[in-house]
Amino acid sequence: MRKVFSVILALTMMVAVFGCTAKKQPVAEHSLSPEYEIVDWNVVSINPSDYGITYEMLTFIEPPNFSEFTLAKLCAYHLYTDGAGAEGSGDNLYKRFMDAPTKVLNYFALIGDQVARGGQSGNETAVRELCREIACADVFWYGNTQEFSSIIKQYQEIYPRGNISEILTSLQEEHDAAIDRSP
């Protein structure tokens, strides 16, 4: 019995000694892929009436105070108005993007593939229409700023793939197209 106990004790000690001195296995590196940006559910409305926006408000005489609009309300308003209303809301949308690009990009990701009026082709997504407005504002109203280009480049490095990456691609494509159309 003593011999069996001695052998078991010796084996246990050897395992403990060799286990403590074993080389550490390399820790697997994790990519910081933004999993949260997968948004395949409709949680956001682009319908103006959901924000209390009436037809009369869309065809206004006096412009609304866009600074009081939430981002969601501003987007819904912009997608369904024309003329001066579109210019005012578009300018405000551009300024919000420049001030808080993360917030705007994440909201656009939530909009997903919803379609408002369909843009120039009749079947464009609301996000594509909003990206066009932001890009055109930078080129035509603000003179093609370096800050806009820097934001796009910085966020493309942060989001190399996924929903936000696609939105950044739309912004870049619309920006390039606006530059081609500018005098």
At 113-154, the pLDDT tens digits run: 888 875 565 678 999 999 999 999 999 999 999 999 999 999
DSSP string, 26-60: PPPP-----GGG---S------GGGGT--HHHHT-
Asked if the model's pLDDT at residue 174 lies above 90, the reply is yes
pLDDT, tens digit (0-9, with 9 covering 90-100), for 60-97: 767 788 888 899 999 999 998 877 678 889 999 999 99
Compute the average pLDDT of residues 13-19: 56
pLDDT, tens digit (0-9, with 9 covering 90-100), for 150-167: 999 999 999 999 999 999
**How many degrees, rounded to 5, is the angle at CA 159 between CA 156 and CA 163?**
110
The reply to whether the predicted model has a pTM over 0.85 is: no
What gap in Å lies between CA 153 and CA 168, rounded to an integer?
9
Asked if the model's pLDDT at residue 27 lies above 90, the reply is no
**How many degrees, rounded to 5, is the angle at CA 104 between CA 136 and CA 141?**
20
Cα of 173 vs its chain's centroid, Å: 16
Please report which confidence band the pLDDT of residue 37 belongs to, taking 50, 70 and 90 as the band edges.
very low
Q: How many CA atoms lie within 13 A of 90 on its CB side?
A: 23
**Pick from 153, 146, 147, 150: nearest CA to 168:** 153
Compute the average pLDDT of residues 26-42: 41
| pLDDT number for residue 9 | 53
